[in-house]
Structure 1
C-alpha cells in the first residue's frame, strides 16, 4: 500500500499518539521512487520549508515532507549530514555511525 505524504501525516495526526524515534518495521519498503528522486523531493520541500518564515499550512507540510523523504532515504541507507557538520555542509551520503538520521518524533512536533 502506497501512502502519500499528506495521507501519512493525516494518519499520524488522527492517531494522536507519541511515536517511537524509529519505526519497528520499514515504512516505505514498497516505495517505487528512486533514491535520486527522493533526494530531489527532499530538496524541493526544503526550498519551501527552510527559506520561508511563514507558518502557513503549506510550509508546515513541506517541512514534514522533508522528514518523510529523509526517513525513506534512511531506510535505504542514506543519511543527510554528520553530527559535526554545519547545516551548510550537510549532504546525502551512505550512513555511518556519526551520521544524522531523521526521527519519527519530528512528525508530531508542530512548534
Structure 2
C-alpha cells in the first residue's frame, strides 16, 4: 500500500505511534517521485510552514510534510544545508559529513 506524505503523517498522528530515532531500512525505497519533484514538494510545503506563524492543522501538516520529503531525499543522498550555514543559505546538495539531515524524531515534535 502506497502512502502519500500527508497520509503517512496523519497515520502516525492518529495512531500515536512513537517512531525510532533512525530507520534500519529505507522508508521510501519504492517511492516513484523524482529527486527534483521531492525538492519541489519540500519547497511548496515550506512556503506554507515557514512563512505562516499560525498553528492551524494545515500548517502543522505542511511542516511535517517538509520533514517527510527531507527524509526521502536524505535516503537518496541529498541533504538540505550544512551545519555551519544560516537557514537562508541552505540548499539541496549531495550529503557530506557536515551536512544537515532530517530525523524521524522531528515528526513527533509539535
Same fold (TM over 0.5): yes
Equivalence for 2:62: 62
State the match for 2:48 in structure 1.
48
Matches within 5 A, 1:1-111: 1-110=1-110
Q: TM-score, normalised by structure 1?
A: 0.94
CA distance in 2, matches of 1:10, 1:89: 31
User: Structure 2 regions of 5+ residues with no counterpart?
Assistant: none
Of 5-14 and 21-30, more deviation after overlay is shown by: 5-14
- Residue by residue over 1:35-83, the C-alpha shift from the partner in whole angstroms, topping out at 9 and shown as x without a partner, is 0000000000000000000011100000000000000000000000000
For 1:100, what is the secondary structure of its paired residue?
A: coil
Superposition deviation, residue 16 in structure 1? 2.2
How far apart in 2 are the matches of 1:24 and 1:15? 21
Distance 2:77 2:108 in 1: 23
The size of the alignment, in residue pairs, is 110
* Distance in 2 (alpha carbons) for counterparts of 1:2 and 1:17: 19
C-alpha separation between the residues in 1 aligned to 2:40 and 2:7? 20
Partners of 1:5 and 1:22 in 2: how far apart?
18
